[in-house]
Structures are given as structure tokens and as C-alpha cells.
């Protein structure tokens, strides 16, 4: 009991040390305790230069294993930005490499933020940069704000092949068809204008679609390149520092969804890279996404870029700080990407490609690589060139670019 009171008191005395000398919690603990010592029931807050809390660490026990190595058990960590909690983490045991500011655990870890919950079998975290790798099987439940531009189960994909005339005419044009099939009569100026509008070449509209696609592609490539560079640099920095086995030791623990909410689930077999300051997540190997309207699988990676909330406070975020995010800005899946959804009549829409990108603002999906296909019922559109692509709009209309073929059952089309 005497030892417990002493170590608890030492933990409390660390707080003014942090404020006066701006030391990290681990540095203060290491200087306060010799190697082989322990602290029990620890609670350590940390503050920025304006005395706003940036983190609170609590642990059942912290042991000093070496001059620069600490071990914590039953650790709970909260990270704050501008006084608001942005991220919390909990794990049963982990090692902290002081000086490098690297946290490592091979036991189940749970992370939670405003719009997500994450469970993994371990972690390697760069504390200062707020980025790292989740290890083993990883599950994420996203709770984004409702996005009306995402594909809805009430939308119906326009037939890829020939369409019946009644499905493409406006209400005014349908009146023209009725007039033409009954007693001949002169057309009004408005009706004549409608015919001219329908007959007008769509070259300009198609060119605009292609131009927007080129801009989206350039933006995607830049984000991919940046994420890959950051992921490689972080791995080269952190993995050599960890002098322990990095293979997870516990069976993956599934997440429980929040009450009265419908999440988007993302599961990957070999963990993920994340950067909490930029809202970047890269899920690795055999990724499965389950969305209320869409099911996606890919064999390689799924890169997700979250949308930053632009607020006056966000402009004050310092290096290593945390921004606020809401929903998906862009998602890019690679490696045998299969997407399945249903239209309003219950028919399955299936796509297959090597790369699929999703734009959170427009709701547009672009399929590239591996000669993409899109199928609805008996209708199949297939790209026959390596450079072609398929662009799917939120209303399920399709733009096909490049040499392609369309297979359709005409008898089935006539029933629609």
C-alpha cells in the first residue's frame, strides 16, 4: 500500500514538470524513475503552449524497461484538438520508445473518433505525426453524415443497350409522339423546339464529361502518389526501431455498431496505414466494404481520403495536430475490384475492374484497368481496350470511353 501511494504521488508530480519544461509524458516518467521501476494507476495530461490539453494518458501500470523504453498495461489514450476530443485509443499492453516517440502493441487495439470506430490486432504509431500502421485483421465502422449524392437503392440504371423511345422522351416529346400517331396536325413552335433540342448533337456534353474525368484522374493520381510516399517513409522510420516481434498475438475482436446507426463497414486482412492529420487510410489485402446500398471487394488496397471540415479553428492546427473530418472525399480501390448494388426493381448491378474510384462530392464512380465490365440483368458492357474506362453517374447512367462491346437480350429490353 505504501508503494502504491508513493508511485501515485510521483505520477501526479509529473504534471507541473510537463507545463514548465514542455517535456513529453514518457520523458518525464523516464527521468523520474530508474530502470526497473513501476508506476501504478497513472494519469498524465499533456498541454500545448497555450495550456490547452492535447492528450490524456491513463494506465493501470507503466514500467521502465530501459533508458528509452516504457511498457504500459491497460492503457487508454485521448487526443484533443482545440479543446475537443478527436480520437481515443485503448489497448491492454504496449511499448513506447521514448526519443523516437513510437508506440507499439501486438494486442487488440480499439480506436474511436466522431465518425468512426476501428479495431485491429496491433499498432505501430508515430506519436508526434499521429500516423502509423494497424496490424493484422482490421475492421472499421464509418458513420459519415448522410450523403445524398451517393447511389440510392431507389435509382435505376439506364439500359446500356438500345432504349425504348418512351423511356428517353420528355413529357413534351411524348405529346409529340401521341400527336404523330393520331390525326395529322401542325406542330406548335414549342413542340418544334423540343424536337430540335432532342436532335442536337451531344458532342459538347460528352466532351465536358471527358474533361471532368481527366481532372478527377489527375487529382486521384496525386493523392495516391502522396499517400504511397508517406506510407513508405513511415514504415522505413518506425519498423527498424521496434525491437520486438510485430506479429499480433491475439485473435481479432469484432466491433459492435453504435446504437440506432447504420455504418459503412471496411474489413482488411493485413491491417492499414493511417494518418490522423490528413484523414488518410490505406486498407491492405482482401478488403471488403459493406455499404447500405453497395458491396465492394478488392484484393490489393482501398485508399480512403476523408473530407476535412473547414472551420476557423482548423486553420490554427499545428504540425502533428488533428483536423476534423466528415465523410469520404475520395476512395480508390485496386486489384480485382468487384462492386455489387441493386436497382429499384431489385436487379443486381455488378462491375469488375482493376481500379475503381469514388468521388464523395459528385457520387461518380470510374472503372479502369483490366478491361472493365458493368452488368445489369442480361445487359453487359465490356471495354475492349487497355486505355478505356466506364464512368457511372449517381443516377446510374453510364458513359463508356474506348473500344467496347455491348451484349443485351432484346427480348428482355422490350419488357422494360
Look at domain 2-99 and name its CATH class.
Answer: mainly beta
How many residues in the chain? 416
What is the average pLDDT score of the chain?
76
Q: What is the pLDDT of residues 357-413, one digit of tens each?
A: 998 888 888 999 999 999 988 889 999 988 889 988 877 678 888 888 988 765 555
Q: Which residues have CB under 8 Å from 363's CB, separation 6+? A: 147, 149, 150, 151, 393, 394
User: Residue 283's pLDDT band (boundaries 50, 70, 90)?
Assistant: very high
Left if phi > 0, otherwise alpha if psi is -120 to 50, otherwise beta: which for 20?
alpha
Q: What is the pLDDT of residues 172-207, one digit of tens each?
A: 445 434 434 444 455 566 655 665 565 555 556 555
Cα dist. 416→139, 167, 373 in Å? Answer: 40, 9, 22
pLDDT at residue 220, rounded to an integer: 76
Contact 355, 333 (CB under 8 A): yes
pTM score, whole prediction? 0.73
Q: Map residue 259 onto helix, strand or coil.
A: coil
pLDDT at residue 348, rounded to an integer: 84
With residue 382 as reference, give the H or E element that holds it.
strand 379-383
pLDDT over 90, % of the chain: 24
What is the Cα 2 distance to its own chain's centre? 49
CA-CA distance, 97 to 104, in Å (whole number)?
8
Contact 273, 282 (CB under 8 A): yes
Contact 380, 161 (CB under 8 A): no
Whether residue 77 has pLDDT greater than 90: no
Q: Map residue 5 onto helix, strand or coil.
A: helix
Contact 290, 264 (CB under 8 A): yes
Contact 197, 189 (CB under 8 A): no
Domain ranges within the chain, ordered by starting residue: 2-99
Amino acid at each position: 500500500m505504501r508503494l502504491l501511494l508513493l508511485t501515485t504521488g510521483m505520477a501526479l508530480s509529473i504534471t507541473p514538470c510537463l507545463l514548465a519544461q514542455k517535456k513529453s509524458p514518457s520523458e518525464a516518467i523516464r527521468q523520474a524513475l530508474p530502470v526497473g521501476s513501476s508506476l501504478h494507476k497513472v494519469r498524465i495530461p499533456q498541454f500545448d503552449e497555450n495550456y490547452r490539453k492535447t492528450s490524456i494518458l491513463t494506465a493501470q501500470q507503466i514500467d521502465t524497461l530501459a533508458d528509452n523504453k516504457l511498457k504500459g498495461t491497460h492503457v487508454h489514450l485521448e487526443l484533443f484538438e482545440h479543446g475537443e476530443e478527436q480520437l481515443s485509443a485503448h489497448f491492454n499492453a504496449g511499448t513506447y520508445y521514448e526519443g523516437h516517440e513510437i508506440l507499439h502493441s501486438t494486442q487488440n487495439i480499439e480506436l474511436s473518433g466522431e465518425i468512426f470506430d476501428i479495431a485491429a490486432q496491433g499498432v505501430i504509431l508515430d506519436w508526434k505525426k499521429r500516423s502509423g500502421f494497424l496490424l493484422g485483421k482490421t475492421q472499421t465502422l464509418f458513420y459519415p453524415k448522410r450523403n445524398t449524392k451517393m447511389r440510392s437503392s431507389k435509382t435505376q440504371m439506364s439500359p446500356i443497350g438500345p432504349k425504348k423511345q418512351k423511356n428517353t422522351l420528355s413529357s413534351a416529346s411524348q405529346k409529340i409522339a401521341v400527336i404523330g400517331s393520331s390525326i395529322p396536325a401542325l406542330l406548335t413552335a414549342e413542340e418544334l423546339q423540343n424536337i430540335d433540342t432532342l436532335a442536337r448533337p451531344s458532342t459538347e456534353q460528352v466532351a465536358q464529361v471527358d474533361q471532368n474525368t481527366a481532372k478527377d484522374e489527375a487529382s486521384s493520381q496525386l493523392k495516391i502518389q502522396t499517400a504511397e510516399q508517406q506510407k513508405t517513409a513511415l514504415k522505413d522510420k518506425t519498423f527498424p526501431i521496434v525491437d520486438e516481434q510485430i506479429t499480433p498475438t491475439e485473435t481479432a475482436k469484432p466491433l459492435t455498431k453504435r446504437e440506432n446507426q447504420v455504418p459503412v463497414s471496411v474489413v482488411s486482412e493485413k491491417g492499414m496505414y493511417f494518418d490522423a492529420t490528413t484523414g488518410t487510410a490505406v486498407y491492405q489485402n482482401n478488403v471488403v466494404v459493406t455499404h447500405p446500398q453497395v458491396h465492394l471487394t478488392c484484393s490489393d488496397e482501398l485508399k480512403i481520403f476523408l473530407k476535412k471540415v473547414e472551420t476557423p479553428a482548423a486553420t490554427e492546427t499545428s504540425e502533428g495536430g488533428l483536423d476534423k473530418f466528415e465523410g469520404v472525399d475520395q476512395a480508390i480501390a485496386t486489384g480485382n475490384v468487384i462492386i455489387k448494388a441493386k436497382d429499384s426493381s431489385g436487379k443486381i448491378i455488378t462491375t469488375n475492374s482493376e481500379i475503381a474510384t469514388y468521388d464523395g462530392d459528385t457520387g461518380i464512380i470510374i472503372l479502369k484497368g483490366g478491361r472493365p465490365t458493368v452488368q445489369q440483368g442480361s445487359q453487359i458492357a465490356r471495354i475492349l481496350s487497355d486505355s478505356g474506362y466506364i464512368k457511372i453517374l449517381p443516377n446510374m447512367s453510364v458513359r463508356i470511353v474506348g473500344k467496347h462491346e455491348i451484349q443485351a437480350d432484346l427480348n428482355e429490353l422490350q419488357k422494360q
